[in-house]
Each structure stands twice: as C-alpha cells, then as structure tokens.
Structure 1
Amino acid sequence: MKNLAFRVSALAGLALVAGCMTPAERGTEVTRFHLGDVIPVQAVTMEPADPEDANSLEYTQYSAIVADALAGIGFTPAQLDEAEMVAVIGVERGTRDEPPRRSPFSIGIGGASFGRSTGVGLGTSVGLGGSRGGEVNVTELNVALKRRSEGTVVWEGRAIRASEPGTEDPTTTVQRLASALFQDFPGESGRTITVE
C-alpha cells in the first residue's frame, strides 16, 4: 500500500511539473532550407533584412549575436567589403493569445468497502497541470546566407520562440534563437524541429 501511495504521489509531482511549464520551456521551433550542397565556412558579413534597421541599436545587438553564433560554427565575421558571404538578418517580435490547455495527466482516486453481501464504491478523477492561457511574447529570428556576387541564397533558417511576459528579455531570447538555429548546421532541409 505504501508503494502504491508513493507511485501516485510521484506521478502527481510529474504532472504538476509538466503542467506548469511555460511556452519558453517548451523549446524553440527551427526550420531550415538549403540545397544539400556543402557550405564552406568563410568570411561573412551581417546585413539587415530591412535596410532601415542598419543603424538601430536593436539591430546592432542582434547582428552581434548572430555573428557570434556563426563564429561558433567556424565562420569569420568580417567587414562589408571583405566577405563574399552575407548573413541577412531579420528579427520580429510580437504577442499572441494562447488558449487554456487541459492537462494530459489525471489521477484517479477511488475506494470501496464490501460486506458479506453489500458493497459501496466511490471513484473520481482529478486533472493536474494545464495552463490558464493568455498573452505570450513571440520572437522570430530569420537568417539567410547568400553570395554577394550573384545574390544566390545558399541557406536560410527560421527560429521561433514563445515566452511568458517577463520571463525572458529580448537579448536572451535572440541568443537562444541563434543558438538553436545554427545547431548541427546546416541541418535537415525542410524539416521543423524543436530545440530545447
């Protein structure tokens, strides 16, 4: 009986942990596209997807994050006129409403007593976890690697992350997006994966 009570208690704990997970804890969705050709590491320069962002402090910060992520896989960040490869960077931030989620876990609680010829039974099921829904922050990082001389895009990727308001600052979110985006570069083309 003690073992059964311990198992029920442990399952309840796991359900509560799973149900309390925020969108940020569910990971980052990553999708990448390329032609399957080898993309040699080389000098690369950063460029905003929207030219109007070129001198903004926000873009400067985000491009430095992407440059660091590319350096981590062997690319060498360079000035505009020193690189054939260009990383075109776009970051979009917004919000969306998420509906409440029911927990996939429930625990049944029941009991019964039986006499010689009569019996009484009681049973109930309690749902654990879930989420109340509401507004979440959504950040999307898009990066395309293209050859400057001909404008051909050789690789592009998108990473999306949702987080509860107040749980992540924008810089931390973009760092996580960039890290996920270039993990196992170039990645499987056309497949969406979740990176924790």
Structure 2
Amino acid sequence: MIWRTCSILLASAGLAACAAPAYVSPVEVTRFVGEAPAQLGAGTISVEFGSGLQRSPNESVYRTAVERELASLGYSVRPSGGAQVAQVTLEQFVDDPDAGRRPVSVGGGASVGSYGSGVGLGIGLDLTPRAAERLDTRLAVAIRPSAGGANLWEGRAQMTASANSDYAEQSAAATRLAAALFSNFPGVSGETIQVD
C-alpha cells in the first residue's frame, strides 16, 4: 500500500513538473486625447457596446469594470441618456502555441546479417512542458458627446494571459484592463505605455 501511494505521488509530481508556468503580459495601453480635454472626467456618461456581429458573452463584466473606472474619474454613470457616451469594444482571441505539435513519435528498424537478424522499436516521448493556451484580450473605449461630434478621447488596452493564470478569469482580466486603460487619465495623446 505504501509503495502504491508513493508511486502515485511520484507520478503526480512528474506531471506537475511538466505543466507550463502561468503567463501574463504587461498591459499595453495607447490613448488619444481630442481637442477639448476640459470636457473629460465630469458630467454624466453612459456606457454602450459597439454594434457588430461578434458580441461577447462577457460584455457585462467589462461594462461594470469600465463604469467603475469612469465613476472614479468623476463621471456620474447612467444606464442611458448621459451627456457623453463611452463606446466599448471588446476583442478576444485564443492562441494555442502547441497546435501541430506531436508529443509521441515511434520508429522501427530491422536488420539481417551473417550473425543473425534483429528487430528494434523505439518510442520517443516529448516531455517538454506543454504551453497553455493563451487568451489575447483587447479593450477599446471611445468617449464622445452623445449629441454627436468628434471623439473627446480614445484608448485601447491589450494583454495576453495563459489559460492557467489568474487573468484567464474574465472578471480579473476586465478589472486589470480597465484600470490600466484609465490610469493617469487622460494620458499623453499618441503615447503607448506598458502597465504591470
């Protein structure tokens, strides 16, 4: 019984050693400030998602994160009818770095000679850690007057997180992206920064 328990523990430890570590990139943020920055950060604002064919099932999580950041900037967030509109776009892509990788290879051979014959078979196992799938997420927000006109502010934040990281969970990713996007608001127009 002890031997069996030890064998199971050793096998589990071996599998854990083969697991890839969690990965999270810094958040890359780019912002553009319009010609009327004094209108930003005050008054009422409503959050809308951009129209399109590909709507995300995670919209409510990202809406909440954006609304929380806008409120912290001094906006009074309303469900609709705000003097300004924050239009949100969310894009997510899954990247499988191991696509096409072959973890097992088999080779065989046979020989015949004056001293007899032989047959051999070899099996190769790829024990390098399997990289976890990575989720690329991009959050973009454009703030404009609800009556129309040019954007007052635009920004986008993007990051990559492996499926085994804390930021593969949508609520954590939304909070991190929105906080980075609105940090030091409105930011330097045209500058790209990285936020850890």
Alignment of 1:84-163 (within 5 A): 84-96=83-95, 135-163=133-161
Q: Structure 2 regions of 5+ residues with no counterpart? A: 1-19, 99-128
For 1:166, which of 164, 177, 194 is the aligned residue? 164
- Structure 1 distance, partners of 2:88, 2:50, is 5
Contact 2:83 2:146 in 1 (8 A): yes
What is the RMSD of the two structures over their aligned residues, measured on CA atoms? 2.7
For residues 15-35 of structure 1, give each alpha carbon's deviation from its aligned partner in whole angstroms, at most 9, with x where no partner exists: xxxxx98541x4100000113
Cα shift readout 1:26-84 (whole Å, capped 9, x = no counterpart): 41000001135323322100111126788x76322221111001111111101312x11
CA distance in 1, matches of 2:152, 2:90: 20
Separation (CA, whole Å) in 1 of partners of 2:21 and 2:30: 23
Give, in angstroms, the shift of residue 170 of structure 1: 1.3
Give yes or no for contact 1:53–1:59 (8 Å, CA) kept in 2. Answer: no
Counterpart Cα distance in 2 of 1:180 and 1:91: 15
Which whole-Å CA distance do the structure 2 matches of 1:147 and 1:53 have between them? 25
Name the counterpart of 1:29.
28
CA contact (8 A) 2:61 2:174 kept: no
Whether contact under 8 Å (2:143, 2:154) holds in the other structure is yes
| 52 and 96 in structure 1: CA distance in 2 versus 1, 3 angstrom threshold | closer
- Give the TM-score taking structure 2 as reference length: 0.64
Aligned to 1:49: 50
Determine the structure 2 residue equivalent to 1:72. 72
Measure, in 2, the Cα distance between the counterparts of 1:97 and 1:53: 21
Kindly provide the amino acid, as one letter, of the partner of residue 59 in structure 2: Y
For structure 1, the 5+ residue unaligned runs are: 1-19, 100-130
Structure 2 CA distance for aligned equivalents of residues 21 and 186 of structure 1: 35
| CA deviation string 1:78-102 (max 9, x = no partner) | 1312x11000011111123569xxx
Number of equivalent positions: 143
- Give the match for residue 115 of structure 2: none
Tell me the TM-score normalised to structure 1 length: 0.64
Superposed displacement of residue 132, structure 1: 7.8
Instruction: Give how far 1:180 is off.
Output: 0.2
